[in-house]
């Protein structure tokens, strides 16, 4: 099922570089890795075609946008089969930025970003716990995010 695309050293170095900064010019990488800019171009295109590179995005400082509160919430559903309908409703909430279907203590695990504790309280009580399928929740407030990086290709 999972045929992994073969990557050589050059591919991996290009990926690592672009994971740090997607705007590094091909010519710059070409110099660093002792190949031509066109070669870098070809490799990037190949990795895009293979679905390894899915796109690019900017990194925004969420605090400067006013989002001071980050937390994780473990959700227990009344019935495990309600997963899809619950997820659909969670997807409507802008504050839910990540969701995971998990084994273990919870059915669904979500990451929430809010502008304040008051907003968190509101989202939690009036939006999240208001969802029919939700039986109970457990909240984990993050005060700091000291590590945030990517896997090593």
Partner DNA sequence: CATGAAAATGCGAAGGG
Partner DNA sequence: CCCTTCGCATTTTCATG
Query: Applying CB under 8 A, which residues contact a second copy?
Result: 2, 4-5, 7, 15, 18-23, 50-68, 70, 72, 74, 87, 90-91, 94-106, 109-110, 113, 138-153
Nearest to 45 by CA among 26, 23, 21: 26
- C-beta of 23: minimal distance to DNA in Å? 7
* Dihedral angle over CA of 88, 92, 93, 98, nearest 10: 50
Considering only 23, 64, 84, 149, the residue that binds DNA (CB under 7 A) is: 23
- Residue 42 as a binder of DNA (CB under 7 A): the answer is yes
Residue 125 interacting partner from DNA, a second copy, none (CB closer than 5 to 8 Å by kind): none
SS3 132: coil
Cα(113)–Cα(94) distance, integer angstroms? 9
Residue 1 interacting partner from a second copy, DNA, none (CB closer than 5 to 8 Å by kind): none
Residue showing tokens 């919870």: 106
CA atoms within 13 A on the CB side of 134: 22
**Backbone torsions φ then ψ of 39, nearest 5 degrees:** -65, -45
Stretch that binds DNA, among 35-43, 59-67, 86-94, 122-130 (CB under 7 A): 35-43
- Residue 50 as a binder of DNA (CB under 7 A): the answer is no
The binding site for DNA (CB under 7 A) comprises 10, 23, 25-28, 34-39, 41-45
């Amino acid at each position: 099922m999972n045929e992994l695309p073969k990557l050589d050293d050059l591919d991996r170095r290009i990926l690592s570089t672009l994971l740090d900064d997607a705007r590094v010019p091909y010519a710059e990488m070409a110099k660093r890795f002792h190949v031509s800019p066109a070669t870098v171009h070809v490799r990037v295109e190949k990795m895009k075609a293979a679905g390894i590179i899915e796109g690019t995005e900017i990194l925004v400082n969420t605090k400067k946008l006013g989002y001071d509160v980050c937390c994780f919430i473990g959700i227990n559903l009344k019935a495990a089969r309600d997963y899809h309908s619950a997820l659909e409703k969670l997807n409507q909430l802008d504050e839910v930025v990540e969701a995971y279907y998990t084994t273990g203590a919870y059915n669904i695990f979500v990451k929430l970003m809010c502008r304040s504790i008051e907003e968190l309280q509101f989202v939690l009580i009036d939006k999240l716990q208001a969802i029919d399928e939700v039986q109970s929740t457990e909240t984990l407030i993050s005060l700091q995010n000291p590590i945030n990086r990517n896997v090593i290709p």
